[in-house]
Amino acid sequence: MELYTSSSKVVGKAARDLTRGQQGWYFSKGLRQGLPIALGYFPSALAFGVMALAAGLTPKQTILISVLVFSGAGQFMAVNLLSGGAPPLAIITANLVVNLRYFVMSASFSRRLKVNWLQAALIGFGVTDETFVMNYLADPEAAESDGNPLDDSGAQKEKTAFLPVSYVLGVNSISYAGWVLGTYAGTLFAGVLPDSFRAAMGIILYAMFIALLIPAAAETLAVGGVAAAGGALCWLFSRYLPSGWAVVLATTAAAAVGVILWGKGVDEL
């Protein structure tokens, strides 16, 4: 199968029509690059496990929430509302609002994917703030000399039009594993961890997201500008709106600002 033109530019179908060995290579690379996310998720999920048990959930219920939901902010909010006696409908509604941003992320991310409905469902389930940044800004074709099976010529490769599905699944899978295993650990050690630990771990998700975003923002004016606009608008909107709506509106408005000011640069991200 010819994957590259004479100029080494990747043909669009190269990201999806891969041999089993090539898919395995990309999945392995996704696992490696997603490992920092998994390591960051583990202590935060551990804190969630401790908090959920303190709110009256059983260990099985706590683990099942992480297995089925996989939403850090949503899960912490659900436990807080549950401990305050909120009805199920209020918890579901609050989570829907908080997680609306994933609709925006998924719609944007879909431009880099060519998938069937099952692959779309699996990838969509694994979209979080951190995996979105990692995958959307990823260039798995980057010349690392680590055995890329797609190019034996040693020529410098350009960014693929579509991300290999196996790469995205690798990033998402190890991140998901880190979250679920961290939750399980939290249910095991809830009785021996101090309350101060839970408070300290709450900031890890935010710190990790910033650490993923800053390198790309520093490298590209469009990314930095959109990120700055999004942060400023979110702060402004959150003064008048619920946090979930503030995030969604700020994201949409920042994207519009990016298109207006850096049209071509944003479109090529």
One domain for residues 96 and 158 = yes
CB proximity list for 229: less than 8 A, separation 6 or greater: 253, 254, 257, 258
One domain for residues 227 and 268 = yes
Q: What number of CA atoms fall less than 13 Å from residue 43's CA on the CB side?
A: 17
The answer to whether residue 4 sits within a structural domain is no
Query: What's the pLDDT score for residue 46?
Result: 92
Instruction: Report the domain count for the chain.
Output: 2
- Tokens 């509302």 correspond to 81
Q: Which residues pair with 10 in a beta bridge?
A: 4
One domain for residues 171 and 226 = no
The C-alpha atoms of residue 140 and residue 27 are separated, in whole angstroms, by 10
The string of pLDDT tens digits covering residues 96-147 is: 877 888 888 888 888 888 888 999 999 999 999 899 989 988 876 653 434 4
One domain for residues 127 and 198 = yes
One domain for residues 143 and 258 = no
Question: In the chain, helix, strand, coil percent, each to 5?
Answer: 70, 0, 30
One domain for residues 152 and 264 = no
One domain for residues 227 and 205 = no
The C-alpha atoms of residue 212 and residue 264 are separated, in whole angstroms, by 23
Q: CB of 222 within 8 A of CB of 250?
A: no
The answer to whether residue 5 sits within a structural domain is no
Q: What number of CA atoms fall less than 13 Å from residue 53's CA on the CB side?
A: 21
The answer to whether residue 6 sits within a structural domain is no
Spell out the per-residue pLDDT of the chain, length 269, in tens.
Answer: 323 222 333 334 445 567 888 889 999 999 999 999 999 999 889 989 988 998 899 999 999 999 999 998 889 888 877 887 878 887 887 788 778 888 888 888 888 888 889 999 999 999 998 999 899 888 766 534 344 444 444 333 444 458 899 999 999 999 999 999 999 999 999 888 777 776 676 666 667 667 767 776 777 777 788 888 888 998 998 888 876 677 778 878 887 888 787 765 545 55
